[in-house]
Amino acid sequence: MIVAHGTWLPSKHSFFLWGETESGDAPASLGRAHPFQLEPEAVTRRLLLALTDQESRFEERVSKVSILLPSRDGRPLPSPESHHERAPLSDVSLRPWEIDGLSLEPFAALSWLALLPGSTEQLPERLRLGSDLRYWSAAARFALELLARQRFLPVLTNGGGSPEARWEPFIDEELDRVEALRAAMPPVCRAVFDGEPETPDALLSDFLCSSMDRFVREAAARLRLKPRFVETDGEQFVSSLLDNDAWFDASERVADALRDDLTRWRSQFDEEESAPFRIAFRLEPPAASEPTEADLDLASVKQGLESEAGVAADETEADTADDETDDDSTEPPNDGWELRFVLQALDDESLLVPLARVWEHGGTSWRYLERRLERPHEFVLEALGRAAALFPPIEESLKESRPEACSLSLDEAYAFLTEGAFLLKESGYGVMVPTWWGRREHGVGLSLSVSPRGQGSRGVVSRLGLDALVEFDWQVALGSESLTREEFVELAAMKQPLVRVRGQWVELSPARVEEVLSAMSSRPEIPQMTLGDVLQFKLGHLGDSRLPVTDLRATGWIEMLLSRLAGKQALVDIEPPKSFQGTLRPYQEQGLSWLVFLGDFKLGACLADDMGLGKTIQVLALLLHLQENQALDKPFLLICPTSVVGNWRKEAERFAPSLKVLVHHGLDRHEGADFVREANEHHVVVSTYSLVDRDLEQLDAVEWSALVLDEAQNIKNPQAKQTRALRKLRAPRRIALTGTPVENRLQELWSIMEFLNPGYLGPEASFRRNYALPIERYRDPTATEELRGLVQPFVLRRVKTDPTVIRDLPTKNEMKVYTTLTREQATLYQAVVQESLLKIEASDGIGRKGEVLAALTRLKQICNHPAHYLADGSSLPERSGKLSRLTEMLEEVLAEDDRALVFTQYAEMGKLIVRHLRESLSVDVSFLHGGVPSVERERMITEFQEDEQAPSIFVLSLKAGGFGLNLTQARHVFHYDRWWNPAVEDQATDRAFRIGQTRSVAVYKFICAGTIEERVDELAERKKALAESVIHSGENLLTELTTDNLRDLFELRASAVEV
Amino acid sequence: MTETTDEEETEPRWWSERWWSVMESIGVSRRLERGKRYARAERVLSIEVEPGRVVAEIQGSRYEPHRVEIAFEPLTKEQWADAVRALASQALFSAKLLSGEMPENIEEAFASVGLSLFPAAPSDLEMSCSCADEVVPCKHIIATHFVLADKLDGDPFLLFGWRGMTRDQILRRLRQYRAAEASGRIVDGDGNRPLEESVRDYWKMGESFDTVSFAVGPPAVNASLIKRLGVPPIWKPHPEIRGSLERLYAKVTERAMALAYSGRGSGERD
């Protein structure tokens, strides 16, 4: 694991980047060099170039910096991101360590930091970003926002004694975020050992100032703005602002005067509202009875519409005035728009006072409703004077002695709406614009009406899919009015930015008109669009670059589909299938209805319920529902990870025994035509991800009624072979099951949606540009909201904490998890069975009993992990079905931000689990076993219960009953291996369970399918009904069995093994 | 600067001392008996401190009360800007003002920018009364001074109000100033915990981190800061600079947007 670190060095005007490597067994060091750091050359290669894909070359310099780090016993402590075992913080002190790294100049630092990956899943393997680097990345993004939004101004600073011209951020409404960033700075950012540590404020400011200043200069360099001659002070100042050298070459007197000038200039906005009022501007359109140029022409264009009722006034006026627009007219027409000036109370913005009231009053002090305004005339005139500089048409009115309003031409009114209003508002004035302004539905665009024409009557509309074409009608809409094509073209030719349609004003912005015109010319006479397009318009963002849509209406079943997808109309309840063995919980019934609904429309569904809520059961119920309705004429293909094949088979046996399940994996799987025939004789074919690509041809030869992906996060990489292979398979129903919150993993979300509903989220590149990037990099709330709207109809996710779900769940929700053996496990297992049976046969009495127990232990160890049995310290990944499954499930626990306990009987296995989880999940894991001293045990328990930063996974290898452990923070309990003694297991489970608690604890009991574990479990279940007491003796009972019975018990059954 | 001793609790605060020294210079001694008498007799019906003037109504012998006005030129906006800048140079000023105290060396801060908070010369105060008394100051004015001095002793910030700004306004401007400085260079002490005390949270991001989101997009109106402020005075002789600035701001947006949305959005790993 490498952790990338870095911080800003104000004294060197550069960003220092370095890498922390595995601490390993680095010896205690009396020297000054940090003992586990990346070589500068490796920093360039593995961090600087690997983390972003910028084309620009960096001019990095190697440099050495001393950083204070918490240290103990002559070693710096590793940072938390390196996921080493957490050390207690006693005896830790700060010590400077020399670190070699790279210096980036401010511009490069800004570009590099801003583009760092926004989520962990995008990082290269075994590389993490330290919190310091993530912090500076956020700071860089902030700088980028300030730049993009042009929040910077020139200043004259006194850098190192000589005056320097600089661009500095202008912070105003951003102050809250500056404070939030300042407060969030991790202390390590300030730890450069170079005199006194900087304050967070100073450090952040210096970074923002330096990087933004550089960025503006870089932009300026592309414009060639520099004055040709530098003679005057003004030219000198410009030149210093644009040059690489910021030095302002002028006398001290000039510099001082300029500095004061600039401060005053910049603080114009700090004008204090000492008065209880401010001036506000209200834009008033011409009265409806006054015809204006803008609606006259429209009237002549819109004869058809004018004949409708309720427009008599307009109509008569329209007939009398008939002059055409005269674009060449030099005299701006008085279009009757008015900008009215009023006083607005600061403490109550609805309190508006006409200026006439002020003018009437002659005194030096004017009172109005408890508010007092000093020298009201001067106050108003001064405010209007400043406003005139921001919106020049105001100036004309100031020629009057008592201005109350100014009249505007239509173009001036438009300028006010698009620019003046903004400038005035930013400068502290009140601004009131008509309500129709800026509202999309009041603008111009296409109004679509989609109808299910040609698709026949109700009932036969199923099986459509998002690529189904539907016909639609469109019209140009102006606000709520529709226009014919001719009317619109004529209207557009007028080139008026604002028009009035029957008393209602509408913006006709030139860009928008252009879009509509081009959409009109590119549309065929009877246009069609896909159902997917309809959904996108309706659920996402109305209108995009392809079609400027302002409104979409649907009729018939399309309307029904849309309103059900949008959650506005309830789904048809589906009765739980009669052949289902067991009871569906209410939320599971809803899940079934939802799966049936989407599938009927050939829409892909992602069932993303929390782990433990029964996704498997809901899919089995769907199968039975189809079977009972004679709709299961073709088989389901279910793809899952190898580790859960056994679980699917067992669950189907238990809940849906009427289903014929074919497990297609292992070396003896069917091939070719054989496979096609076999598949068609079963209801479900269960296969694995690893086989999809290999067996694609024969999988594709079968006609499937549905394609189900379990643990769909397996296709999170859209480019991976198996993902692409899966997208090639055809099936009318597509279902993805996942327990991870997909909405936070955007690449995974796209990939899963692309499988479910191809094309719906657009090509990957545009998805990345429109959603992934703004959300991951900038936490963009608009993009987040829009994406949620698009995806929400296709993702059903219930969490354990939903009140409705809690009501349906038992407080202790026990589940058996069946896993599969790897080939290695199976081989070992069979060898041990043979060997043990021979030994057992050859012994008797106590000796025989001992041999049986030893055999049991060995087999259980093999089921746990080959390395557990072999005790050879060999590698862990991919060798145990159980461990793989545990890891997958814990990954979901972590994704849900939950905590889990993992129990095993064996301390040795506990150690292996901990090692594996640390390495593969990159998280710290607590481990409690018999050898842990009681003080340490107390600390771990308290930490788990109370410290949010403590490891979320707690592995325990002890009979936990007698210890009084209180671990109620855990919501998941895993029994990695079985005691075969319910009392012991229950005691362990109850660590996480408190009487009277309202939330539910999920308990997972791991069982290797086809092995002794499954057999004993069955035995125990059967006996349980007869006499609980028998079970208590657990393993002892087994020692009494005959060798033949034992053979039967031990023997490995088919389909226990993976490929 | 005069120092008051702590033992005498009833003794007026430094600013009262300072104010009385001004009074003495215009011939109003605090030992003036008729002044005391007038003030004590509660003949002063009302007194209001407004920007630039203090207005009081005094009950004389006639039915109609006399109107006293003490005018003191308020500071101009520019002068206040200078004063606030001087005050912002030391966090101590903000701290004292926030706690309701008049900082003792505030006069130095004003003096450093060539201003005076208190009247520098007797002629700075212009006093008038509606009574027929020829003597200035008349007894009504003297009474007003006594009451005013008493009020100032309790609330020294009335002096700010008189000069054109309330304490709250000054505090707000100081805060704005600090905001500007947050983007600039002035350092302020808060949040500066010694590193030794942060060992436990050495790598920890503050909670506020998760609240920050970014809106990287073009502004509603190009170069709006320049449009609002106009160009700095130094560029007045160069009208072409305004256009250059507008182009520069547009270019910065263009380049920032290009950078902001470049690169990988979601992880294709190489």
Look at residue A707 in the predicted model and tell me its pLDDT.
96
| Collapsed DSSP state (helix, strand, coil) of residue A296 | helix
- A317 CA: distance to closest CA in chain B (Å): 37
pLDDT computed for residue B182 by the predictor: 52
In this model, does residue A313 exceed pLDDT 50? no
Instruction: Give yes or no for residue A896 having a pLDDT over 60.
Output: yes
Span A231-279, pLDDT tens digits: 888 889 999 999 888 888 888 888 888 988 998 888 876 665 678 889 9
pLDDT 10s digits, A687-701: 999 899 999 999 999
Q: Hey, are the CB atoms on B208 and A216 less than 8 Å from each other?
A: no
Closest by CA to A642, choosing from A70, A194, A1055, A229, is A1055
When pLDDT is averaged across residues A106-121 and rounded to a whole number, the result is 87
Tell me whether the omega of the peptide bond preceding residue B65 falls within 30 degrees of 0, making it cis.
no
Query: Which whole-number Å values give the CA distances from A254 to A156, A166, A229, A260, in the listed order?
Result: 11, 16, 19, 10
pLDDT tens digits for A488-536?
888 888 788 888 877 778 888 888 888 888 777 776 555 677 788 788 7
Same fold yes or no, A586-808 and A813-1050: yes
**In this structure, what is the dihedral angle of CA atoms A491, A494, A495, A499, given to the nearest 10 degrees?**
-60
Report chain A's mean pLDDT, rounded to a whole number: 83
Greatest C-alpha distance within chain B = 97
Among A101-105, A118-122, B39-43, which stretch is predicted with the lowest mean pLDDT? B39-43
Chain B residues 165-224 within an 8 A CB cutoff of chain A? 165-166, 169, 172-173, 176-177, 179-185, 187-193, 195-196, 198-209, 211-224
Chain B nearest C-alpha distance from A744 (Å): 12
* Polymer length of chain A: 1059
* Shortest Cα distance, chain B CAs vs residue A106, angstroms: 15
If pLDDT is split at 50, 70 and 90, which confidence band does A811 have? confident
Cα A119 to Cα A46, A143, A598, A747, A775, distances in angstroms:
18, 20, 31, 10, 10
Contact A902, A956 (CB under 8 A): yes
Residue A1031 scores a pLDDT above 80: no
Any idea where the domains of chain A sit in the sequence?
A: 2-221, 440-565, 586-808, 813-1050
Closest CB to A183 among B206, B217, B222: B206
Q: What percent of chain A has pLDDT over 70?
A: 86
Residues of A in contact with B165 (CB under 8 A): 272, 274
**B251 touching A, CB under 8 A?**
yes
Highest mean pLDDT, choosing among A733-737, A850-854, B65-69, B146-150? A733-737
The number of beta carbons lying within 10 Å of the beta carbon of residue B61 is 6
Does residue A97 register a pLDDT over 80? yes
Q: A586-808, which class in CATH?
A: alpha beta
For A169, nearest residue in chain B (alpha carbons) = B183
- Å from A923 to nearest chain B CA? 16
Mean pLDDT of all residues in A634-643: 92
Q: What is the pLDDT of residue B88?
A: 76
Domain A813-1050 has what CATH class?
Answer: alpha beta
* Predicted local confidence at residue A623, as pLDDT: 96
Q: At a CB cut-off of 8 Å and minimum separation 6, what does A936 contact?
A: none
Indicate the range of A9-13, A536-540, A708-712 predicted with least confidence. Answer: A536-540
Give the SS3 label for residue A548. Answer: coil
For residue A72, give the chain B residue with the closest CA.
B199
DSSP class per residue in A351-372: EEEEHHHHHH--SSEEEETTEE
Instruction: Return the pLDDT at A530.
Output: 79
Per-residue pLDDT at A332 = 43
CA A326, CA A441: separation in Å to the nearest integer?
A: 30
Let me know if A885 is exposed, middle or buried by CB neighbors in 10 A (0-12, 13-18, 19+).
buried
Closest CA–CA distance from residue A965 to any residue of chain B (Å): 27
Whole-number Å distance between alpha carbons of A107 and A15: 10
Which segment of A303-307, A378-382, B128-132 scores lowest on mean pLDDT? A303-307
- Higher pLDDT: A318 or A1015? It is A1015
Quote the CA–CA distance of A124 and A102 in Å, as a whole number. Answer: 20
B251–A218 CB contact, under 8 Å:
no
**B239 Cβ under 8 Å from any chain A Cβ:** no
CB atoms within 10 A of CB A191: 24
Q: Which residue has the higher pLDDT, A327 or B174?
A: B174
At A56 the pLDDT is 55
Residue of B241, B234, B232, B226 lying closest to A390 (CA atoms) = B226
**Could you report the per-residue pLDDT of B209-266, keeping only the tens digit for each?**
888 889 899 999 999 999 998 899 999 888 889 999 999 999 999 999 999 988 754 4
Please indicate if any CB of chain B lies within 8 Å of the CB of A237.
yes
CA distance linking residue A303 with residue A148, whole number of Å: 47
pLDDT at residue A312 tops 50: no
Per-residue pLDDT tens over the stretch A539-560: 765 555 556 777 788 887 788 8
The phi and psi torsions of A818 (rounded to 5 degrees) equal -90, 130
Residues 103-162 of A with CB under 8 A from B: 111, 114-115, 117, 119, 121-125, 130-132, 134-135, 138, 141-142, 144-145, 147-155, 157
Tokens 């599938």 sit at which residue? A599
Locate all alpha helices (DSSP H) within A429-555, ordered by sequence.
Answer: 485-493, 510-522, 531-539
Measured between beta carbons, the chain B residues lying within 8 angstroms of A268 are 228-229
> At residue A292, does pLDDT exceed 80?
no
Residue B218: per-residue pLDDT = 93
Residues 739-778 of A with CB under 8 A from B: 746-747, 750, 767-769, 772-774, 776-778
Report residue A900's pLDDT band, with 50, 70 and 90 as the boundaries. very high
Let me know: does A461 contact A452? Beta carbons within 8 Å.
yes
What tens digit of pLDDT does each residue of B19-70 get? 888 888 777 777 777 667 766 665 778 888 888 888 888 887 777 888 888 8
Interface of B with A in 15-34 (CB under 8 A): none
